[in-house]
Amino acid sequence: ILNVEQSPQSLHVQEGDSTSFTCSFPSSNFYALHWYRWETAKSPEALFVMTLNGDEKKKGRISATLNTKEGYSYLYIKGSQPEDSATYLCASKAGDFGNEKLTFGTGTRLTIIP
């Protein structure tokens, strides 16, 4: 993996269903994995920052896991609600010491169907 990749690109989920999506990132020179929620016409809002292999974070109905050895993270949303409709971005912080950069994926666009 050379870049940060997210799948799927878009997703339609029925209200009340649970869903998950994936972020893949290069595992070399890795420092941290960020998840952001980006609603239309707004700016990205931080959800989680994870650094250690096996990290799990939770905020309400949203949770995330991190596998730094194989270079992937999952974001889970339980019992989707219309307000969960947004683009979910992941970003990997990596690079040489002193020049670490945050590289964003292109996002998963989630639409919740009432």
Partner 1 sequence: DSGVTQTPKHLITATGQRVTLRCSPRSGDLSVYWYQQSLDQGLQFLIQYYNGEERAKGNILERFSAQQFPDLHSELNLSSLELGDSALYFCASSVAGGMDEQFFGPGTRLTVL
Alpha-carbon distances, residue 65 vs 9, 20, 94, 104 (angstroms): 19, 11, 18, 17
Which stretch, 18-26, 29-37, 57-65, 78-86, contacts partner 1 (CB under 8 A)? 29-37
Question: Is the CB of 57 or the CB of 78 nearer to partner 1?
Answer: 57
Question: Is the CB of 18 or the CB of 29 nearer to partner 1?
Answer: 29
86 CB burial (10 A radius; 0-12, 13-18, 19+): buried
Contacts to partner 1 by CB under 8 A: 31-32, 34, 36, 42-46, 48-49, 51, 89, 91, 93, 95, 98-107
